[in-house]
Amino acid sequence: MNAEIISIGNEILCGNIIDTNANYIIKKLKEINLTVQHISAVGDEEEELVAQLRQAFQRSRIIITTGGLGPTEDDITFQSIAKAFGLKLVKYPEAEEHLIKTLTNISIAIAPSNLKQTFLPEGSHCILNPYGTAPALILEKEGRVVAALPGVPLEMKHLLPEQIIPFLQKKFPNLKQRESKIIRTSGLGESVLNDKIKTFILSHQDLNIGIYATPEDIQIQLNALADTTAEAKTMLDEATKQLKGLLGDYIFGYDQDSLEGVIGDMLREKGLTLAVAESCTGGMLGEMITAVPGSSDYFKGGIISYSGEIKEKLLEVPAILLREFGEVSEPVARAMAEGVRKKCNSSLGIGITGIAGPAGGSPEKPVGLVYIALADDKQTLIQKYQLQRERQIIRLRAARRALNMLRLYLIN
């Protein structure tokens, strides 16, 4: 049972607005175990929209459109649906009555163009819109369903769950049960992760499996369809167990887990505290840590030591290290981690120093070079990275790598 979304309007194709409607519709359909296979955006051109509707009708059981229901000349959804399926446009008295009542209540004169909204393809189920003037519709044809919704997000977000979703649940009562699970990983790139689980993916044709890179982590999305919820959950549990065997500690959490949240739980459980000294990340690591509610249980504080002067005065980084090795170096990162741990009287200290760019690099120390140090009362660990991309991404990746370094330390 597959569904399709068509977003209508030149404003989408021109980039004047972001199409948030499609994302909302996908999530709502997912709740009733319907899978969206196609999403398209079409401008206010009748022939283009008619062609898109006909193509969608050939491949999808459920088609949901948004936009193009207004009174102006470029609002062509109803007439395009009628033309695509060989139907006449007919006046719906209830739509006209609602329109007149709505406009009268807000003291707007009724223009002839307004009445255009009261003509729907014959055979449609007219859905009056308490949140606007344009009605929505549901059209059933050859076992398929076409639903046309307003493009105004406020109106669409009411009419979809209140009208369309209940209709679809009644129309298709035997939908398979869908269960999903997100497996969150850190420490592997997207392509490397794919190579590690390629055989697993190929051997699990009964699951829909996707790998998605986000700024926070690399996610494995598992989707299972079965006759019952229990069967779907069993499929996911077994798949998760197998992936854990393949990926081990690269997996840090599931579903809504965050790396900083998982680390916070581990610090709290072990009774450890943390402080950070940041240079190139400029407080980004501290912000991530303190975004977790209750982080005051384990986070002592941080020092943004952006200049060599602050590194020397506040963190007590020896001046000789700064002169001999430079601010971006392993010895300075080590001294930063040890210094902030001492200054904040914490169990652990993290130091980050690097070159985020776009300027400041050299052949010996190119842009993207980052040193991360983690100190406890017995040792200081160092990691060196050569990160890529633009300045903000380098800073973000440095902070995320520091978090993952801390996670692995706490595990081991």
DSSP element (H, E) containing 28: helix 21-31
Residue 6: predicted pLDDT: 98
Residue 229 confidence (pLDDT) above 90: no
Average pLDDT value for residue range 287-298: 98
Does 3.40.50.11060 match the CATH number of domain 2-171?
no
Alpha-carbon distance 385 to 401, whole Å? 9
Candidates 173, 132, 168; CA nearest to 28 is 168
Residue 112 confidence (pLDDT) above 90: no
Q: How far is CA 218 from the centre of its chain?
A: 12
Candidates 106, 233, 215, 245; CA nearest to 179 is 233
259 touches 216 (CB < 8 A): yes
In CATH terms, 259-411 corresponds, of 3.40.50.300, 2.60.120.10, 3.90.950.20, 3.90.190.20, to 3.90.950.20
* Number of DSSP helices (H) and strands (E) in the chain, helices first: 15, 17
* Residue bearing the bigger pLDDT, 227 or 275: 275
Alpha-carbon distance 404 to 412, whole Å? 12
DSSP 295: G
Alpha-carbon distance 353 to 336, whole Å? 9
pLDDT digits (tens, 9 = 90+) for 391-410: 999 999 999 999 999 999 99
Q: What stretch(es) of the chain map to CATH 3.30.70.2860?
A: 177-254
Residue 33 confidence (pLDDT) above 90: no
Helices (H), 88-152: 93-105
pTM here? 0.77
Helices (H), 32-112: 46-59, 77-84, 93-105
Q: What stretch(es) of the chain map to CATH 3.90.950.20?
A: 259-411
Residue 228 confidence (pLDDT) above 90: no
Alpha-carbon distance 387 to 401, whole Å? 10
Residue 167: predicted pLDDT: 96
pLDDT bucket at 109, cuts 50 / 70 / 90: confident
103 touches 114 (CB < 8 A): yes
DSSP 109: P
Q: What stretch(es) of the chain map to CATH 3.40.980.10?
A: 2-171
pLDDT bucket at 177, cuts 50 / 70 / 90: confident
Which amino acid belongs to residue 392? Q
| Residue-averaged pLDDT of the chain | 95
Alpha-carbon distance 400 to 396, whole Å? 6
> Among all chains, which residue has been given the structure tokens 């990926």?
247
pLDDT digits (tens, 9 = 90+) for 48-98: 999 999 999 999 999 999 999 999 999 999 999 999 999 999 999 999 999
Q: Which CATH number describes the domain made up of 177-254?
A: 3.30.70.2860
The contacts of residue 333 (CB under 8 Å, 6+ apart) are 351, 352, 353, 371, 372, 373, 382
